[in-house]
C-alpha cells in the first residue's frame, strides 16, 4: 500500500481521498484553507462540495503541507487556476521517487498552456502523470465502476499510478498521449456547457447529439493540430468524458449551461452552481488557441460570443445552423492556416 498526499479539498480531492483510504492506502488530504479543513473534520464530510460522503477519521486532514511530505504519490486536485501555485508548493515536499499526478481539467488562462506544461515548469525533476476520463467525484466516492486514463511521457510513472490507484471500482488504462488526454479533458467541458444550454432551452435530443458529435470533431481538430493522436479522442479521455459530462446532472458544466439556457447570465449561472466550472474559462483559452493555430472551432466560437460578448443564444444557434454547407469529414482550417480551407 502507498502513502498518498492529495492536494485540494474540493469534491474531487475528497472523493479520491475517500476511495484511496477505502482501499488501504495511507492518505493525507491537504487543503489551502484551514477553515474548510476544520469544517470537513468537524462534520465528517464536505457538506457543500460532496454532501453525504463520509470522510473517515483515518484520513489525515491538514492545511500544513509539511505533513504531506514523504508520499509515494502526490495528486494535485485543485481547479486549473490554482495549478501553478499548488505545483510550486508541492515541489517542497517531494521525495526523489515521488510520482506527481494531476486530475485538473483545463488550460492555463492567458498562456493557454496545458496543465502538465505548467506543472513541469514548477516541478522540473519529476515526471507528471495526467489522470482523466469519465469520473464524477460523486460516483468515485460511491465506489461504482469507473474507468480513466493515466497519461505520461514516462511510461514507468503511468504504470506506477495504474498499479497503485487501480482497485475493484477503478480501472486505469495507460497512455503516452499526454497532449490528447489533457486536451480531451479540458475541451469537453466547453461542449458540456453547450449541451446544458440545449437542455435549458429544451431543444431535445437531436440537437444535443449533434453538439456532442460535432464537438468532438472540433476537439480532435485542435488536438491533432497540437500534436495529439486522433485515436485518443475516441477513447475514455475524449468521447468517454464528453458523454458523461454532457449527459450527467452531476456535471457542473452541464448544470451551468442549463441555467444559461433558462435565461440566467453566465455569471449568475456560475454563482448558482457554486463550484468549479472549468468550461467557461476553457472557452476563452480554446477560442484563442484556435485562432492562433488557424483551426476552425465554430461551436467554441459561438459559446465564446455568448459568454464574453453578450451574444443572444438563439442567434448563436441560428448562426451555427446557417454555416456554409460542408462535407462531414472535411478538414477545415481558418484562412491563413497551412491546410486547404
Ligand X SMILES: NC(=O)C1=CN([C@@H]2O[C@H](COP(=O)(O)OP(=O)(O)OC[C@H]3O[C@@H](n4cnc5c(N)ncnc54)[C@H](O)[C@@H]3O)[C@@H](O)[C@H]2O)C=CC1
Ligand Y SMILES: O=C(CO)COP(=O)(O)O
Contact residue for ligand X among 136, 188, 208, 255 (CB under 6 A): 136
Q: CA torsion sign, 207 to 213 to 215 to 221?
A: negative
**Residue 311 interacting partner from ligand X, ligand Y, none (CB closer than 5 to 8 Å by kind):** none
244 touching ligand Y, by CB under 6 A: yes
Distance (Å, rounded) from C-alpha 326 to C-alpha 63?
54
For 21, 66, 98, 182, the CA distances from 71, given in Å and listed in that order, are 14, 11, 6, 24
**Burial of 159 from C-beta contacts in 10 A (0-12 / 13-18 / 19+):** middle
Q: List C-alpha distances in Å: 251 to 44, 138, 215.
A: 24, 10, 17
Q: Which of ligand Y, ligand X, none does residue 99 bind to, with CB < 5 to 8 Å depending on kind?
A: none
Among 136, 208, 221, 284, binds ligand Y (CB under 6 A): 136
Integer Cα distance of 183 and 232 in angstroms: 10
Comparing CB distances to ligand Y, the nearer of 84 and 136 is 136
**CA separation for the pair 77, 167 (Å, rounded):** 19
Residue 239: CB minimum distance to ligand Y, A: 12
> What, of ligand Y, ligand X, none, does residue 241 touch, CB below 5 to 8 Å by kind?
ligand Y
Question: To 5 degrees, how large is the angle CA 53–CA 54–CA 55?
Answer: 115
Answer for the pair 272, 222: CB distance below 8 angstroms, yes or no.
no
Which strand (E) or helix (H) includes residue 170?
Answer: strand 170-175
188 is a catalytic site residue: yes
DSSP per residue, 182-251: HHHHHHHHHHHHHHHHHHHTT--HHHHHHHHHHHHHHHHHHHHHTT--GGGGGSIIIIIHHHHHHH-TT-
Q: Which is nearer to ligand X, 93 or 103 (CB)?
A: 103
137 in a known ligand binding site: yes
Binds ligand X by CB under 6 A, chosen from 4, 40, 61, 78: 78
Binding span for ligand X by CB under 6 A among 57-65, 134-142, 257-265, 320-328 = 134-142
> Out of 21, 25, 46, 105, which residue is the one contacting ligand Y (CB under 6 A)?
105
- Give the one residue of 45, 182, 199, 241 binding ligand Y; rule: CB under 6 A: 241
Please pick, from the candidates 53, 78, 192, 260, the single residue that binds ligand Y as defined by CB under 6 A.
192
Phi/psi for 273 (5° steps) reads: -65, -40
Using rule CB under 6 A, residue 65 touches ligand X: no
In the complex, least distance from residue 85 CB atom to ligand Y, rounded to whole angstroms: 20
The grid coordinates listed for 14 are 475528497
11-50 positions binding ligand X, by CB under 6 A: 11-13, 31-33, 36, 49
Q: Pick the catalytic residue: 188, 293, 311, 331?
A: 188
Q: Tell me if 5 contacts ligand X by CB under 6 A.
A: no
Residues making up the annotated binding site are: 8-13, 32, 105, 133, 135, 137, 188, 241, 251-253, 278
Residues near ligand Y (CB under 6 A): 105, 134-136, 189, 192, 241, 244-245, 250-254, 278
Q: Any idea which residues carry the catalytic annotation?
A: 188
Amino acid at each position: 500500500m502507498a502513502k498518498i498526499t492529495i492536494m485540494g479539498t474540493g469534491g474531487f480531492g475528497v472523493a479520491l481521498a475517500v476511495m484511496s483510504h477505502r482501499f488501504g492506502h495511507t492518505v493525507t488530504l491537504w487543503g489551502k484553507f484551514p477553515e474548510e479543513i476544520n469544517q470537513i473534520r468537524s462534520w465528517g464530510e464536505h457538506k457543500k462540495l460532496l454532501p453525504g460522503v463520509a470522510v473517515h477519521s483515518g484520513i489525515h486532514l491538514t492545511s500544513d503541507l509539511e505533513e504531506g511530505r514523504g508520499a509515494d504519490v502526490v495528486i494535485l486536485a485543485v481547479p486549473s487556476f490554482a495549478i501553478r501555485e499548488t505545483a510550486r508548493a508541492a515541489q517542497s515536499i517531494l521525495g526523489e521517487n515521488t510520482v506527481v499526478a494531476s486530475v485538473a481539467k483545463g488550460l492555463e488562462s492567458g498562456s493557454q498552456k496545458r496543465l502538465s506544461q505548467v506543472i513541469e515548469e514548477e516541478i522540473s525533476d519529476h515526471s507528471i502523470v495526467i489522470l482523466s476520463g469519465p469520473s464524477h467525484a460523486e460516483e468515485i466516492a460511491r465506489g461504482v465502476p469507473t474507468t480513466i486514463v493515466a497519461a505520461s511521457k514516462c511510461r514507468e510513472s503511468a504504470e506506477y499510478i495504474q498499479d497503485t490507484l487501480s482497485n475493484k471500482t477503478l480501472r486505469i488504462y495507460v497512455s503516452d498521449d499526454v497532449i490528447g488526454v489533457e486536451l480531451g479533458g479540458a475541451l469537453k467541458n466547453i461542449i458540456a456547457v453547450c449541451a446544458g444550454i440545449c437542455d435549458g432551452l429544451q431543444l431535445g435530443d437531436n440537437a444535443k447529439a449533434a453538439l456532442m458529435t460535432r464537438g468532438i470533431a472540433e476537439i480532435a481538430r485542435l488536438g491533432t493540430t497540437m500534436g495529439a493522436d486522433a485515436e485518443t479522442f475516441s477513447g475514455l479521455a475524449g468521447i468517454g468524458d464528453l458523454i458523461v459530462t454532457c449527459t450527467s446532472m452531476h456535471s457542473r458544466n452541464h448544470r451551468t449551461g442549463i441555467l444559461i439556457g433558462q435565461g440566467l447570465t453566465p455569471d449568475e449561472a456560475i454563482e448558482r452552481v457554486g463550484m468549479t466550472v472549468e468550461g467557461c474559462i476553457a472557452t476563452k483559452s480554446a477560442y484563442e488557441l484556435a485562432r492562433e493555430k488557424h483551426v476552425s472551432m465554430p461551436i467554441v466560437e459561438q459559446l465564446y460570443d455568448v459568454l464574453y460578448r453578450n451574444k443572444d443564444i438563439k442567434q448563436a444557434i441560428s448562426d451555427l445552423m446557417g454555416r456554409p454547407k460542408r462535407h462531414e469529414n472535411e478538414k477545415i482550417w481558418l484562412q491563413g492556416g497551412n491546410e486547404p480551407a
